[in-house]
Amino acid sequence: MDTYRIIITKRDTRAFLDRPVPVETRRRILQAGRMAGSSKNSQPCRFVVLEDPRVREEFAACGDFAAWLPQAPFVVAIAVVGGTRGEFDAGRAAQNMMITAWAEKVASCPVSLHRQECAVEVLRLPPDARVPIAIGFGYRAKPAKHAPEAARLGWDEYVRINRWQP
Amino acid sequence: MDTYRIIITKRDTRAFLDRPVPVETRRRILQAGRMAGSSKNSQPCRFVVLEDPRVREEFAACGDFAAWLPQAPFVVAIAVVGGTRGEFDAGRAAQNMMITAWAEKVASCPVSLHRQECAVEVLRLPPDARVPIAIGFGYRAKPAKHAPEAARLGWDEYVRINRWQP
């Protein structure tokens, strides 16, 4: 499958098989995040791999919809420690990771941490850090639906030429 | 080249040949952005393709480092019109677009718009919209350096296990 097909068929999925993500795949996922560009190469992102079950539980309690996270075979929290476009650059790094994973048939889903102080404390980050996202990775529990497209607004709602309004 | 190699060899580049990006490649770039996942599928991103030279100049004047943008063969502004993770989701869409382009040997660079009111006005967006980024795409003017890795902080500075500090 070529890169474009991999990109457009990626679905955010959070129900995973109880099957580990291979070590080499994990390494490529993290390296893809590290290689993502950032504003003036400020490299604001840091990655914390959550392996310890207790840390996973403490961390998941920092988000309103993160209860599924401790069961994911591979969990990465993305911290931002500076930069002027931190959340945007975190999105770039996250997408690099998730597309790299999906190219190896590893699904993923990002999740927000609504209580930022909690997330920073659990991960023992510098106090001015933030954690815009964590990502759970694994092999999907249910077979992929073969819908030709994800459910999205129409092309004309997404794309305009020159100005949004005439 | 497989998807992982495409992802880790992507460099942000803003010096382009005067050679158009094919229509089909442009369509795939935009579709890759549209297919990017977002928080609760809120789809907060919109794409404005800048073709008119006057609009390009007006828009570029909204950023401190965007003077190169009007010369890019293909220019897309990403607007955010809602959602709870707009900048992060814009980063996901932008990276989908830039990786899709790079898979077809089309380079790219994102650029910030420091004067948001200006960007919103030039693009005639709803007043509460924001424009976290624009991207210029094109064939690179200089051959790629074949450094094995982009200049990045060391792996141990990027990645930790369980907690950032022991």
- pLDDT for A149 equals 83
* B135 interface with A at CB cutoff 8 Å: no
Q: CB–CB of A158 and B45 under 8 A? A: yes
Residue B61 structure tokens: 């004047």
Q: How far apart are CA B66 and CA B33, in angstroms?
A: 21
Q: How far is B16 from chain A (nearest CA, A)?
A: 18
Q: pLDDT tens digit string along B37-55?
A: 999 999 999 999 999 999 9
Under CATH, which number does the domain A3-142 receive? 3.40.109.10
Q: How far apart are CA B157 and CA A47, in angstroms?
A: 9
Q: How far apart are CA B4 and CA A64, in angstroms?
A: 32
Contacts of A110 in chain B (CB under 8 A): 37, 39, 88
* Structural class in CATH, domain B3-158: alpha beta
- pLDDT for B146 equals 65
* A115 interface with B at CB cutoff 8 Å: no
* CA distances, A65 to each of A51, A61, A62 (Å): 19, 9, 9
Q: What ranges do the domains of chain A cover?
A: 3-142
Q: Average pLDDT of chain B?
A: 95
Calculate mean pLDDT across residues B136-151: 84
Residue B74 structure tokens: 């293909």
Q: pLDDT tens digit string along A83-142?
A: 789 999 999 999 999 999 999 999 999 999 999 999 999 999 999 999 999 999 999 998
Q: CB–CB of B34 and A159 under 8 A? A: yes
pLDDT tier at B166, thresholds 50, 70, 90: confident
Q: CB–CB of B132 and A88 under 8 A? A: yes
Calculate mean pLDDT across residues A145-157: 85
Q: How far is B135 from chain A (nearest CA, A)?
A: 12
Q: pLDDT tens digit string along B77-96?
A: 999 998 789 999 999 999 99
CB distance A45 to A93 below 8 Å: yes
Strands A159-161 and B159-161: unpaired
Calculate mean pLDDT across residues B94-112: 97
Contacts of A52 in chain B (CB under 8 A): 162
CB within 8 A of B79, min separation 6: which ones?
A164, B45, B46, B47, B48, B120, B123, B125, B129, B130, B131
Q: Is the pLDDT of residue A144 over 70?
A: no
Searching chain B, which residue's CA lies closest to the CA of residue A154?
Answer: B34
